[in-house]
Every structure is written in C-alpha cells, then in structure tokens.
A and B are shown apart, each in its own frame.
Chain A
Amino acid sequence: MKASFFKTSGAASIIYLCLGYYIVMAFVAPGFFTVNNTWNLLYNLLPLLVIAIGQTFVMITAGIDLSITSIIAVTSITGGYLMSSDTAIFDSPESLIFGVLGMLLVGISIGTLNGIAVARFGMPAFMVTLTTMMLFSGLAIWLTQSQNIYNLPEAFVNMPYSSFLGIPTPVYLGVIVLGLSYFLLNKTLLGEWIYAIGLNVETSRISGVKVARIIIFVYAFSGFCAAIGAIFYTARLETGSPVMGQNILLDVIGAVVIGGTSLFGGKGKIIWTFFGAFFMVLLDNSLNLMSLSFFLIMIVKGSVILIAALLNANREKSLRTT
C-alpha cells in the first residue's frame, strides 16, 4: 500500500523536497527544531491547508477560485458582527454557535454564487472569481468602513489554544477537513465525477454526469473551506477584519500548484496539496527564523515556486518521452 502510494503519486518529489528541506533547516535555522516552533508550524499550516484543499477541488475541475481572500474577509466580519460583545446581537453562550454557523453559511453562499455563475451561465472561472473578489472585498470594507471588530467571546478566541484529549482543537478541525475531502475525492462517485469533469467536460456531460451541479458543489466547498480558514484566522487575531487574508491568495494557489495539481484540471491529490501547503509554511517559517527580511522571503518564495514547477515540467517531459 505504502509503496504503491509513492509510486502512483506523480508529485512524490514534493514529499521528498519537504522532508529534505525540513532536515536541512533543523540544522541550519536557529530555533527551528524546537517544540515551540513545531506548534508554530502547525498553527500556520492548518488554515492554509484547509483553504488549499478547497482550491484543489476547484482546480481539479479545471477552474480557479480567486475569490477566497474576499470570502475570508466577509466571513471574518460576519463572525465579528455576530459574536462581538460590541454589537451584542446574541447573548454570549449562543453567539459562538451562531457566529460560527453564520461564517460557514456566508462562505458556502459566496462559493455557490461563484459556482452558479461558472456552471449555469458558462462564465470563465477566472473572470467570475476575479469580480467576486473585487465585489466582496469591497463589500467587507464598505460594511465595516474599514474598522476592525474587537471583543470577540473568550471561548472563540481561546479555541486555537484549547485542547481535547491532549490534542489541540484546531488539529481535530484540520484532520476532519482533510479526511472528509480525501474521502470525497477518492472513495465516492462524486470524486470520480470531479476528476472526469476536469479531464473532459463534454464527455462527462454526454456520459450523464450532472456537470453543473458538481461544479457548483466544488465552488461551494471552496467557500466552505475558506470560511473554516477564516475561523482560524479570526480566532487567532481576535478580531474580525475586512482586510483579513488579503495576501494569502498566491500562497494558496502556490501551495496547490507546487503539490502538482494541474491548472488544466483532471490531475491533483489531497495529499499533494498537504505537502504543497506544508512546504509553503516551512519556507515562510524557516526564512523568518533565519531573520531574512520580508522582501527576501518574497524573492525566495518566487524562485521556489518556479523550481517546483520546473521539476514538475521536467518530470512530465520525461514521462512523455518514455
């Protein structure tokens, strides 16, 4: 099982890259191989991973979701409004439940909107999600007049640091999303249909796959994942912010693509995305620890994305010629 897992995953190189990089950094970067920093890695990984998983679903159908940043922003302020004691919409014990549910609902709704525009109206995914990005991030800033929302309930703010059976709560959340998406994509008919659509829309349609519904589902799922990511970020920053996640878009797409998911659809795996996201986080974290400046990190990140893509392209070339 394990051997075939590595053999079948065409993007195994990202796994070795991650492990190799991790080992090298354990020696090179001061304070990298410590308990504290491992927690840091984990806390940075979880939201990025969850959001990237949603993006993977979309990319497998040959789409793209640029609106995730705006979804994060809108869900963050929704959560803020519903939970903050400043607005006091609900009494404190219920506010947490309504807040989280409201956030998920908003995320799914925006995703569904994207999906309908792509699937029913035949609009190009890039343009749809580009305009919804502009629209909803504008909306988030307009609604709040670019003010942050503070005073979130204690239970919500403490969520990232709470634990159950000795394991922090966020880990459960991450594992649930990871498991659910793995199951959906690999063990269900829905998953097979998602791959089929990415490989060839027309053939799938002719073979009776309900293409429109599945595409709508995929974007709604991406919205759902972005909302979960927003819950992480909102809880950690203890604020509902209309500009939350503004810089995360390219990290997410980078993570998915470094993992080996094709922008042309039909190819991609949850486990690849996991390592793609892990690599992005490793990169950020280790370069930070080596006290490289923000702009050098950007340059290195760019080069690494390029190198990963180069490795991918070369491997595909060698596969083609043999």
Chain B
Amino acid sequence: MKWITNKTVQSLLHHSTFVLFAIVLTVFGLLSQSFFSFQNLINVLTQASSLGIIATGMTFVLLTAGIDLSVGSIMFLAGVISSKMVVAGFPLWMAFSVVLAVGILFGLMNGFLVVRAKIVPFIVTLATFYMGRGLGLFLSETRAINLPDSFLKIGSTQFFGIPFPIIAFVCVVVIGHLLLTKTVFGKQVYAVGHSTLKSKKAGIKVNGILLKAYLICGLCASIGGLVAISQLGAVSPTFGLQSEFMAIAAAVLGGTSLFGGKGTVFPGTLVGVLLVQCIQNGLVMVNADPYLYPLITGGVIFLVVLIDSLRHLQQQKLKRWGIHQK
C-alpha cells in the first residue's frame, strides 16, 4: 500500500488526464511520422474547435451542478437556420445574428425552466433537445442542405496563417477562462455549484447565475454549430447528434465534476477536448479501422474516469485511517 501514498504516484494519478494525454501523443507520434507536424497540429486544433467551444459552454452549466442535453439540437438548429437564410439570399451577418439569438433564446428557455419552474435540468434540457431537433428537422424537411461557398470561405479564412475556427476557439476559451477566474460572476458560479443553499444565504442571486450559465451554454452551442458547418459545407439531418455527450465527456475528462463546483475551462476542458480530438486524429493518421474510433475513444474516457474515481476512493480511505490513528 505504500506506493499509493508516494508523492510522485499521487501526483501522477492526480493528473491522470495529462498522463494519458502524454501517452496518447507518444504512441501516435511513434506510429505516425507526420503526427507531430505543424500542419497536423493546425488540423487537430481546427477539428477540435467546434467541440471545444461547445464544451466550454457546457463547463459553465456543469459547474453549477446542472447539465445541458440540448446543445446538439441547438447546433443543428444553428446549422439549418443559417444555411436556409443564406440560401434564401439574406446577408451572412444577418444569418449569424439570428443564429446567435436562437442559441441565446434556447439557453434562456432552459435557464428559465430550471430556475422558475424548478424542473430538474436533465428533464428540461431533454425536452428542449426534442423540441430543437424537431424544429430543425421541420425547417430542413429532413433533408441535407448544401451550403453556398461563402460559408466554406469563412471556414478556410486565415489570419496570419491561422484558420478562422481556431481563432474562434481560442477566443471562446480565453473569454470563458477570464469569466470564471477574474470576475465576480465566475466566483459565484463556483459557489452556486458547491452549495445552492449556502450561496443563497451569502446573498448571491442564485437564479440569475443559473440563468446566465445556461445562456452562455446555449450561445456557445450556436457558435459551435456555425464553426462546425463552416468546415463541413453541409448540414445533414444527423448533424450534432450526440455532441452533447461528447461535450460532457470532454469537460469531465478535463476534471470538471458532474456534481458541480469543481472544474476549469483552462486548462481543464481545453485539455479534455484536445485529448478526444488527438485520439480521433491519431487514429486517422495511423489508418485505423474507422469502426474502432468509438471503441478507443470510449475506452480512454472510461480509463480517465476510473483512475480519478479510484484516487478519490483511496483518499477517502487514507482519511479514514488518519482519523482512526488519532
């Protein structure tokens, strides 16, 4: 049992995500020559941008001990509405602002139902998940929509050699990080996640905080949807399906707790997202069987959660021993 109390082992287990990240990088680096090229780095970041933006929003909701299952539907709706509008001849900026408004609206609806109607977040967002996807399918008539070139142009626009999706990704992560660490709002988000009751007693307007958390999540989901379609060039009826689960998984990989109050956007969620994307990218690079992707991604997520839980159990045991020794 001695090895478990060893400082190095403890810190390794504490940073299990980083350790696994390092292992994943090494394995793919050894298997594929071009994995560590600059071009591939850009590729990974570009592909990770959509998920990263959504996971950043999800982190806010998870921090308040909530959950948002509707992000995939918001993404889908964002894709459908913007492409419909652009195809119909509206200018790009107008389509984008409508989409962002839709994201905010969905976020507000989620937040309002959680706060005012006192329905569990899981159910609220389950319901809005259905509504959003249904609405999206209704608008798109369950058909795939091909986007005009102006969309793809945005996806491949570069500033100083850096593609637009990465810039959006970095912006969202930086803003999210600053919001959580440098503002009163951020501190209050953590407080609400730790204990709603205590936060109320401390004079925090809990309802307002929750509302804002869901709003941020909805907004991020719509931005993530736009970024994703600007790369894909088409919106299929299954677009965004299960991305809520990927976003939650990425946030949890980065150390965010599902029970609220614990987690960070930077480095936490960012690392989680990059880990997921590196696995996917690496598997492509080594020409793995595409059917194996979900198996390996799922396995790695399972491993990280397992290690984290075992460490937690061990700590509790040590604490209990400490009490007995006294």
Contact = CB atoms under 8 A, between A and B. Distances in A.
A31 interface: no
A164 interface: no
Contacts of A139: 295
Interface residues of A, number: 45
Nearest to A251: B130
Given A121-B313, A127-B301, A302 B294 contact: no
Contacts, number: 136
B130 A131 contact: no
Chain B contact surface mostly: helix
Contacts of A142: 289, 291-292, 295
B12 interface: no
Contacts of B291: 138, 141-142, 145-146
Given A257-B123, A302-B127, A131 B305 contact: yes
B269 to A, nearest CB: 15
Contacts of A253: 126
Interface string A216-246: 0000000000000000000000000000000
Interface in B25-58: none
B302 interface: yes
A309 B134 CA distance: 19
A117 B113 CA distance: 33
A293 B113 CA distance: 27
Given A117-B306, A142-B295, A301 B124 contact: no
Given A138-B291, A297-B134, A121 B310 contact: yes
Interface in A97-144: 117, 121-124, 126-128, 130-135, 137-139, 141-142
B128 interface: yes
A295 B298 contact: no
B123 A305 contact: yes
Interface in A287-322: 293-303, 305-306, 309-310, 312-313, 317
Contacts of A312: 119
Contacts of B259: 124
A250 interface: yes
B326 interface: no
Given A127-B305, A257-B123, A306-B119, A295 B295 contact: no
A263 interface: yes
Interface string B132-156: 0111111000100000000000000
10 contacts: A122-B310, A138-B291, A141-B291, A142-B292, A264-B120, A295-B138, A296-B138, A306-B119, A309-B123, A309-B124
Interface of A: 117, 121-124, 126-128, 130-135, 137-139, 141-142, 145-146, 250, 253-254, 257, 263-264, 293-303, 305-306, 309-310, 312-313, 317
